[in-house]
């Protein structure tokens, strides 16, 4: 009986997916297109261009019709006509591809992988309105859309595609690995579980009453936003810093608000997200099915990071002998954004070479 019910369910889903409008209604147009985006052609990253890679800008779309902007890095060592293993990179939460994700992508391209670093929906140079929105569903889909794009490139082996998420996009990368069987290897660096952090606060310090009050305030903000006709922003790194902030807030400031990592399109470097973005994360935990991931996963976290417990707890839920947790001695959360002496690229490369072969 259970098997029969599964077959019926799959048939219903397939039928709904294959239904198309044949009544002449132009609203049923399912053509996939990329919207034109205005992409800067100057090198405006917070890191220098490597002479070991070829860089260009590309675009691709997700299944919600949002066009994403990405930087493509191809190793100059690649042979003509060679199909490469490929990796899609994004994060941190509130950052843009010109920051940490671009550094990771370029560094992995130097090691022989074809890589892209992309701006998530609604941010950076990517499309989507309103601006500065985060979504547990759409941002997970952004990784899957990157796999769509890479899978259809002539210079990529579609059987050797991995992803890498940094900070909040580390959580999304794990969620993407749970849903997308085309992903063969996933790295989550200095990972945040954004659903858990939003709903429970840091170190799970928020109780049910506090969560209710947060919902009340956010829904009141929805009314205010609708009345005003625009979305209030919050969440950029505070500047100037009060004296009594925790050390990890000072670490964020040292990256996002100084020449080390500041970028004009970065939400964290400027005015932050739409306040009401937090609502969906409260009710939609993103790591529910991480225990069902069959592909390889590597979690990388700093020993001194305030966020270390996210990776440690996520690792406990993963199953199989192709799952690893690497704790980097002495590193804090933002060290793994850009400190080349602390980011374990040798271990990350070894992981991808093991599982993207």
Q: Could you please report the per-residue DSSP string of 277-293? A: GHHHHHH--S-TTGGG-
Q: Say whether pLDDT at 73 is over 70.
A: yes
| Token pair 């989550």: residue | 188
Place of tokens 């405006």: 44
C-alpha separations of 59 from 69, 94, 118, 129, 151 in Å:
5, 20, 9, 17, 14
What sign for the dihedral angle of Cα 340, 345, 347, 348?
Answer: positive
Question: Is residue 288's pLDDT more than 70?
Answer: yes
Can you tell me the distance from the alpha carbon of 235 to that of 90, in angstroms, rounded to the nearest whole number? 19
Nearest to 248 by CA among 315, 195, 310: 310
pLDDT in tens, 183-237: 999 999 999 999 999 999 999 999 999 999 999 999 999 999 999 999 999 989 9
CB 53 within 8 A of CB 113: no
Would you say 166 and 104 are in contact if contact means Cβ atoms under 8 Å apart? yes
Contacts of 42 (CB under 8 A, 6+ apart): none
Task: Assess contact for 139 and 122: CB atoms under 8 A.
Answer: no
Q: Is the pLDDT of residue 21 over 70?
A: no
Q: Are 272 and 357 in contact (CB under 8 A)?
A: no
Question: What does the pLDDT read at residue 11?
Answer: 52
How many CB atoms sit inside 10 A of residue 45's CB?
18
Mean pLDDT of 103-116: 98
How high is the pLDDT of residue 19?
Answer: 45
CA distance 307 to 14: 40
pLDDT at 35: 86
Angle at 123 between CA 279 and CA 139, to 5 degrees: 55
Confidence grade of residue 20 (pLDDT, cut at 50, 70, 90) = very low
Instruction: State pTM to two decimals.
Output: 0.92
What CA–CA distance (Å, rounded) separates 334 from 302? 9
Please report the pLDDT score of residue 3 as a whole number: 62
Where helices occur in 152-207 by DSSP H, the ranges are: 168-179, 194-200
**How distant is the alpha carbon of residue 77 from its chain centre?**
28
* pLDDT value of residue 220: 98
Closest CA to 177 of 85, 298, 84: 298
Please give the helix or strand (H or E) that residue 44 lies within, else none: none
Distance CA 234, CA 276 (A): 9
């Amino acid at each position: 009986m259970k098997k029969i019910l599964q077959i019926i369910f799959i048939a219903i889903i397939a039928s709904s997916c294959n239904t198309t409008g044949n009544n002449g209604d132009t609203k049923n147009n399912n053509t996939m297109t990329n919207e034109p985006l205005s992409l800067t052609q100057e090198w405006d990253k917070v890191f220098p261009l490597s002479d070991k890679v070829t860089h260009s800008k590309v675009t691709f779309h997700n299944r919600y019709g949002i066009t994403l902007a990405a930087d493509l890095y191809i190793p100059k060592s690649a042979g003509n006509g060679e199909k490469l293993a490929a990796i899609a990179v994004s994060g941190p939460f509130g950052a843009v591809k010109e920051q940490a994700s671009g550094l990771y992508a370029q560094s992995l391209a130097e090691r022989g992988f074809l890589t892209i670093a992309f701006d998530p929906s609604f941010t950076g140079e990517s499309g989507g309105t309103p601006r500065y929105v985060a979504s547990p569903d759409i941002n997970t889909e952004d990784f899957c859309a990157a796999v769509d794009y890479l899978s259809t490139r002539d210079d990529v082996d579609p059987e050797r595609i991995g992803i890498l998420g940094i900070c909040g996009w580390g959580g999304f990368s794990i969620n993407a690995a749970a849903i997308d069987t085309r992903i063969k290897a996933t790295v989550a660096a200095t990972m945040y579980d954004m659903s858990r952090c939003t709903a429970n606060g840091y170190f799970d310090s928020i109780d049910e009453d506090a969560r209710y009050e947060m919902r009340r305030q956010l829904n009141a903000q929805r009314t205010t936003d609708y009345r005003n006709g625009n979305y209030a922003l919050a969440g950029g790194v505070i500047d100037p810093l009060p004296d009594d902030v925790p050390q990890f807030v000072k670490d964020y400031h040292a990256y996002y608000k100084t020449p080390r990592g500041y970028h004009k399109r970065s939400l964290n470097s400027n005015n932050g997200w739409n306040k009401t973005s937090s609502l969906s994360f409260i009710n939609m935990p993103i790591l529910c099915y991480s225990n069902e991931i069959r592909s390889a996963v590597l979690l990388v976290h700093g020993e001194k990071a305030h966020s270390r417990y996210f990776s440690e707890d996520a690792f406990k839920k993963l199953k199989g002998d192709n799952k690893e947790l690497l704790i980097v001695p002495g590193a804090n959360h933002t060290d793994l954004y850009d400190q080349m002496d602390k980011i374990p690229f040798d271990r990350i490369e070894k992981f991808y070479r093991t599982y993207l072969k």
